[in-house]
Structure 1
Amino acid sequence: MVAACAGGPPAPRTPVDLLLSGGLVFDGSDAPGRVADVVVDGGRIVAVGPDAGRRHAPRRTIDATGLVVAPGFIDPHTHPDSYIRSDDPAARRNLPWLFQGVTTIFIGVDGGGTPDVADDHAWFERHGTGTHIASYVGVSPVRARVLGQDARAPDAAELDAMRALVAKGMCEGAFGLSSGLFYTPQGFADTPEVIALAREAATRGGRYDTHHRDESSYDIGLLASIDEAIAIGREAGLPVHIAHIKALGLDVHGQAAAVIDRVERARAGGLQVTADQYPWLASGTRFGATLLPPWAVDGGRAALFARLDDPADAARIRADMADNLRRRGGPGALLLTSQGFPWSGRTLQDMATEWNLDPVEAALRILTEGGIEGPGGSQRVASFNMDKADVDLFMQQPWVVTASDGSNGHPRQYATFPEKYARFVRSEGVITLQDFIHRSTGLTATIMGLRDRGFLRAGQFADVVVFDPQTFAPKADYANPRVLSTGVAYLLVDGVPAIDGGEATDVRAGRVLRHVPPAGSCP
């Protein structure tokens, strides 16, 4: 018998949409990068490997030599409403996140997610967004719908109504229950009430995502607040995810190690506890929430101003505000970030000096004149209140992933992922590039329960970022927070280029991503 000729014709190559050739590929797992090809067809990853391109006939080839190729980043904590809910289709592309390399965002965080999840999802599907969207159902609208702004416990019937709203949101595709117990009115909920609501999420395979009650020393204190979050997860029977983990304010600087110890002990005991973090030393929130004591806003805006008209209550409010201002590092540490006001881009100290007022009186003037929406106010502030050593230590934990907490007026909305890379990977070496990518992609997808996303593997959806490791960097800062980041050369959202050659396209290829509850847990 004559042997077959080894030099016969080559096997036919399979036609595909796109080949990313020769980049340094990190597949989203906790594995080192390797030079490889990534093949995309029909919105999915077809193949990844050093010779994958040879087996396929791409309609388009992108030379990724010298570039980093990774899964699209997943941001588990965002406030993007001014973009994704805009009447302007161009705004709904969500460019602040796309130019960071982000392809999936979670909304409804800090306890703010509507229980009308299906209606919300339907709106996004009709209008289209540039990034994929996943939702939480939140304690705040659930509680407000039943109890309004009141600081009281629900009776049995009211608690049942709240539980039904959480169940509704979960059955309509929410990934879990979100709380923001620092904020009113949800901060009026005690631990057993939150546990009762969290059990509805647990029954339907969700998680408990929390801006926990006290990241500082406002109420029960940082460490007791972490204990409460863990207890809620343990009693309700579901994973706990701590939002934007931090030690906020002078009173708790240096407590990161104690927080980590509590989380590690809970994890060792079998409870899934994870966290996310933004790589900034200034937080961002509502101005009123930084200074007003919760008791002062019981009942809403009208009740707050009635108390300010009462001499005894007003004196107590001012005293509590002064102590909260001390916690935050003083009036020079509060940068007012809402646009279009006389104080925009200036510190509270600047305004107190200009108006010749005590800082607390200046703060009350801003809250009065600033177009308050609700008791906590609509004014935004960047609060410089974190210690670098705490930030570094949290970032190095293998259960902490990247999140922007991106909100209007803070550079984290435009620049979190590039900031983490440029400063904490490239400049300071706090974590490695491998850590950065794993904790912005595959680990986040696993924690959040996303299916077929977060990894560059055959069969996964083709959410892919290609960035230049020399130029991937933030351009936004505290003085100019609305500047797009640089360095993303290509970004695929379900295989469709949202950024092509460094320029945004006009497509809005994002999808609504829905959690699927276990069989039998929903009507």
Structure 2
Amino acid sequence: ARTRPVGINYATYTGFGTIRQRVIGEAKRAPTPQELAQMQALVASAVCQGAIGLSTGLFYAPQSFSKTEEVVALAAEAGKRGGLYDSHIRDESSYTVGLLAAIDEEIEIARAAHIPAHVSHIKALGVDVQGQAPAVIARINAARAAGLNITASQYPWSASGSSMVASLVPLWAQDGGRKAMLARFDDPTQATRLRTDMAENMRKRGGPTKLLISEGAERNRTLAEVAVANKTDPISAAIAVIRVGDPGVISFNQSEADIAAFMRQPWVMTDSDASPGHPRVYGSFARKYAKYVVADHVLTLREMIERSSSLTADTFGLTGRGHLKAGAFADVVVLDPRRYAPRATYQQPTELAVGVQTVLVNGVLAVDGGKLTGRAAGRALPHRPPAGT
């Protein structure tokens, strides 16, 4: 923000995937003691330079190749310096350890690393785990009652977004990176097992009609439609798409009952998990208001605002942010409650919401009368480790 104007305030983590890939590469193995020490030093250095903590995506290779103990060792370095641990947990479905075991791992990392832990975009994904929201909530509430600081964020959509590879290709086939994965498609000793596992992962997500491709040549077509157009089966169609690239995939896989149950928790805040091709990039906050406050009455207006501002700022240690009070930074949104609604859809994901009248960023008008002013007043919000850490 010092050298190039940005429109928003932002804070960043140091990413486990980047660190592990730099030190170990894409291999499915544990780090040596020397490699672990190198990764710990990278985490410590990043937090001292302003990262607000360590983020992980334990569902995704190569991070998925790590054991809990490795993650604890790295998270502890952030915790010593006042940072947070934020995770896309190891399994939101039934791919590997299962949703409940993945929540247990998140709680164990918080306990063992002495660090606040956050579950990014909490959900119960897929047909095997729909209805498990109450069990997840009970585990987190028990951990909080025991003194652990566990929070979560959620996007207000029943469809998730990931890549074709992450959605369908089993982790064992991703060992060694993309080149090794593509070779396995052509290896007759592995291809049958690979196709079987891909079919099972597709089933968990509801089948080929529930997978909407959001990027590339097949954008806005389901995997089922691609298969029909190419006169082939869905797995063969998926493999053909993956050979060309790894496009984004929108997966319709969550129940409204689970979404509402998570949303009602006082420790769950709003996020977008913004990724190209999904309407959550442009429409998450407006949808939460229009659907879950106005239409479905899951939250009150006050609850929605708090969980989209003050709870977020307080959770991530953004001092002076998220509150309308004297002495705070003037980050203000003025909405028309009669009109505020999303326009972004799965087919047209970049449509702006309506009903946003005024936006101030650090006291500077970014939106005036419902129109962008072109003034970019965003700032980096670096973490300040306690003295002596």
TM-score of the superposition, structure 2-length normalised? 0.99
Which amino acid counterpart does residue 197 of structure 2 have in structure 1?
Answer: D
State the match for 2:108 in structure 1.
231
Equivalences, count: 389
Distance between the aligned counterparts of 1:471 and 1:287, measured in 2? 36
State the match for 1:347 in structure 2.
222
The question of 1:186 aligning with 2:54 is answered no
State the match for 1:20 in structure 2.
none
Write out aligned runs for 1:25-424 (5 A): 124-339=1-216, 341=217, 343-369=218-244, 372=245, 377=246, 379-424=247-292
Which amino acid counterpart does residue 175 of structure 1 have in structure 2?
Answer: I
Bigger relative contact order, structure 1 or 2 (CA pairs below 8 A, ≥6 apart): 1
Distance between the aligned counterparts of 2:144 and 2:136, measured in 1? 12
Distance between the aligned counterparts of 2:39 and 2:15, measured in 1? 11
Distance between the aligned counterparts of 1:125 and 1:191, measured in 2? 38
State the Cα RMSD in Å. 0.7
Which amino acid counterpart does residue 254 of structure 1 have in structure 2?
Answer: G
Distance between the aligned counterparts of 1:266 and 1:360, measured in 2? 41
Deviation (angstroms), 1:125: 2.3
3-state SS, counterpart of residue 189 of structure 2: helix
Distance between the aligned counterparts of 1:485 and 1:446, measured in 2? 26
Deviation (angstroms), 1:307: 1.4
Percent identity over paired residues = 53
Distance between the aligned counterparts of 1:252 and 1:471, measured in 2? 36
Distance between the aligned counterparts of 1:467 and 1:476, measured in 2? 17
Per-residue CA distance 1:372-423 (angstroms, 9 max, x = gap): 3xxxx3x101100001100000000011000000111000000000000000
3-state SS, counterpart of residue 499 of structure 1: strand
Per-residue CA distance 1:488-510 (angstroms, 9 max, x = gap): 10000011000001000111100
State the match for 1:502 in structure 2.
370
Distance between the aligned counterparts of 1:513 and 1:150, measured in 2? 34
Per-residue CA distance 1:262-304 (angstroms, 9 max, x = gap): 0000000000000000000000111110000011011111111
**Which has the larger share of strand?**
1
Per-residue CA distance 1:234-276 (angstroms, 9 max, x = gap): 0000011000000000000000000000000000000000000
Which amino acid counterpart does residue 140 of structure 2 have in structure 1?
Answer: V
Which amino acid counterpart does residue 126 of structure 2 have in structure 1?
Answer: G
Deviation (angstroms), 1:308: 1.6
3-state SS, counterpart of residue 178 of structure 1: strand
TM-score of the superposition, structure 1-length normalised? 0.74
Larger CA Rg, structure 1 vs 2: 1
Which amino acid counterpart does residue 274 of structure 1 have in structure 2?
Answer: T
State the match for 2:303 in structure 1.
435
Deviation (angstroms), 1:320: 0.4
3-state SS, counterpart of residue 205 of structure 1: coil
Per-residue CA distance 1:472-522 (angstroms, 9 max, x = gap): 11000111111111111000001100000100011110000011001011x
3-state SS, counterpart of residue 382 of structure 1: strand
Distance between the aligned counterparts of 1:287 and 1:507, measured in 2? 37
The question of 1:452 aligning with 2:320 is answered yes
Distance between the aligned counterparts of 1:183 and 1:323, measured in 2? 18
Distance between the aligned counterparts of 2:2 and 2:294, measured in 1? 38
Which amino acid counterpart does residue 279 of structure 1 have in structure 2?
Answer: P
Q: Which stretches in structure 1 are left out of the alignment for 5+ residues?
A: 1-123
Distance between the aligned counterparts of 1:348 and 1:135, measured in 2? 34
Distance between the aligned counterparts of 1:217 and 1:398, measured in 2? 27
Distance between the aligned counterparts of 2:96 and 2:379, measured in 1? 39
State the match for 1:79 in structure 2.
none
Deviation (angstroms), 1:347: 0.3
Distance between the aligned counterparts of 2:189 and 2:355, measured in 1? 56
